[in-house]
Chain A
Amino acid sequence: MTSHLVVLGDRVIDSLAYVGGIFTLLGRIYAALPSLFKRFKLTIEQMSVIGVNSLPLVAFTSVFTGMVASVQAMYQIAGKTPVIYLGYGVCKAVIIELGPVLTALVVAGRVGASIAAELGTMRVTEQIDAMESLALDPIEFLVLPRFVAAAIMLPVLVVFADFVAIVGGGVVAVLTLRVEPQVYLDGLRLYFTMRDVFGGLLKSAVFGMIIATMGCYHGFTTGGGAEGVGRATTKAVVASSLLILVCDYLVATTIFRT
């Protein structure tokens, strides 16, 4: 009985420490913000690593997402609704939901994992301790640039993803579903509002922050050699993917309410 209580107590303490640790990290990132422009070169480097290097993966994901969206939308509306709603359906689905969420999930897999692995390796080889011993703040050097770069580059990637998905959907619609190009384009314009675009971009910025925060937190708290680095990487990807989905729901209920 006592041992069960000890295990339960440990779990509770661990969970609280986990949440507390993440908020402490966010607090330290906020406190380090004034130093951002002092070392903006580091942020630019991370923008390239997180954003530019993710382009091929995001393009691949988006083109297939758009194509599937087009086929599925046609399957739903064929014979029941005017075909102009095909472009409308694809556009809304991609801009509001598929573009931001799928981009964030694949970037979480690629970037979140690499952040956790890189910082985790630095932790277990004592490079982060070494940085602190030289009176340098690892938050300023390692965390802040990744956080800001991810928050800026995720919306940029989503704009690109939205465009590729809509084009991919259009190509499938015209070539295989026998939809007139003009009808697809008219569908895209139907009930189009900038609010949808900005809503999608705003949440993708939040997703970027989630990916960087979880990658950095799990990297920083890595222990136990190569095995620990592997565990941290997995945890970072799983935690950021789950948080992205939860956060998506929260944004949906606040921004996209009728």
Chain B
Amino acid sequence: MIQIQDLYKSFRHQRVLEGVTLEIKTGETMVIIGRSGCGKSVLLKHIIGLLRPDGGKVLVEGKDVGGLSPSGLKDLRKHFGMLFQGAALFDSLTVGENVALALREHRQMGNGKVEEIVARKLKMVGLQGVESLKPAELSGGMKKRVGLARAIAMDPQYVLYDEPTTGLDPIMADKINELIRQLQKGLSITSVAVTHDMQSAYKIADRIAMLYEGRIIFLGTPQEIQASSSPIVQQFIRGESSGPIEAG
């Protein structure tokens, strides 16, 4: 279980998170929605300790992420996988090396075993025989899928997705959504995804939380959010330019 308690974060004079409280249950997929730049990715990075909060806590299985030592944080991260917005593949390494990197560093296993796992993970995301390609040779959708294979290489308990469908064509976006769903069902992974793509949110979420002006203003199932009476929520999920949220 991941518990986010009264989290505050500012960058210089800009306040991004102003008291976010959210609980993500084991085995569920939580989707956090909100406008671009509202702090969704910042929230996600706090969960894995890439950012430290100014106030409040993130607890993973009861452990305060912000208070962990470097080695404690390293151990915690071995249970996490993260898919980054631009996939963030290491461009000096091949696809195979990208997926294998964490396995080679953290697991005592032979080359053959590593290669077998890499091939299996790549197959899970619908890619085969691409191990020797460099990230620069891949399309956007393929990069995301390799990023996903890398994130799940160590069989994590938690997977964090930062805008998993942004920049993809609708068919590829749906393919990624299905993959996320399959991973959650097949491997019973606890997932947190941030997105502003509502179609994706409805498809993958067990529950949806909406982040607005640094706080969670809505929490509920996809059905509940559609029935929400909040004008802010309604404007966002319908994607309308006029309403209480100012465009710009």
List A residues at the B interface (Cβ < 8 Å): 10, 122, 125-127, 129-137
Contact of B82 among A10, A130, A136, A137 (CB under 8 A): A130
Neighbouring B residues of A129 by C-beta, 8 Å? 45, 50, 82, 84, 88
Whether B84 lies near A132 (C-beta < 8 A) is no
Residues on the A chain within 8 Å of B48, using CB: 132-133
Complex alpha-carbon distance, A19 and B85, angstroms: 32
Q: Which chain A residues border B8 with CB–CB below 8 Å? A: none
Binding site for A on B (CB under 8 A): 12, 45, 48, 50, 70, 74-75, 77-78, 80-82, 84-86, 88-91, 101-102, 105-106, 150-151, 154, 160
Q: Give bound CA distance, A137 to B74, whole Å.
A: 8
Q: How far apart are A129's CB and chain B's nearest CB, in angstroms?
A: 5
Question: Are A130 and B75 in contact, with the CB atoms below 8 A?
Answer: no
For B50, the chain A residues whose CB sits under 8 A away are 129, 132-133
Which of chain B's residues has its CB closest to A127's CB?
A: B88
* Contact A134/B101 with A127-B91, A129-B45, A129-B50 known, Cβ cut-off 8 Å: yes
Chain A residues with CB under 8 A of B78: 135
Q: Which of B45, B90, B106, B150 neighbours the largest number of chain A CB atoms within 10 Å of its CB?
A: B90
Given contacts A134-B150, A135-B78, contact A125 B101 (CB under 8 A): no
* A135 to B71 CA separation, bound complex (whole angstroms): 9
A127 touches B90 (CB 8 A): yes
Q: How far is the CA of A19 from the CA of B101 in the complex (A)?
A: 33
Q: Can you list 23 A-B contacts (CB < 8 A)?
A: A125-B86, A125-B88, A126-B84, A126-B86, A129-B45, A129-B82, A130-B82, A130-B84, A130-B150, A132-B48, A133-B77, A133-B80, A134-B77, A134-B105, A134-B150, A135-B74, A135-B77, A135-B102, A135-B105, A135-B106, A136-B101, A136-B102, A136-B105
The interface residues of chain B lying within 8 Å CB-to-CB of A127 are 88-91
CB–CB A130/B88 < 8 A = yes
Is A131 in contact with B90, judged by CB distance below 8 angstroms?
yes
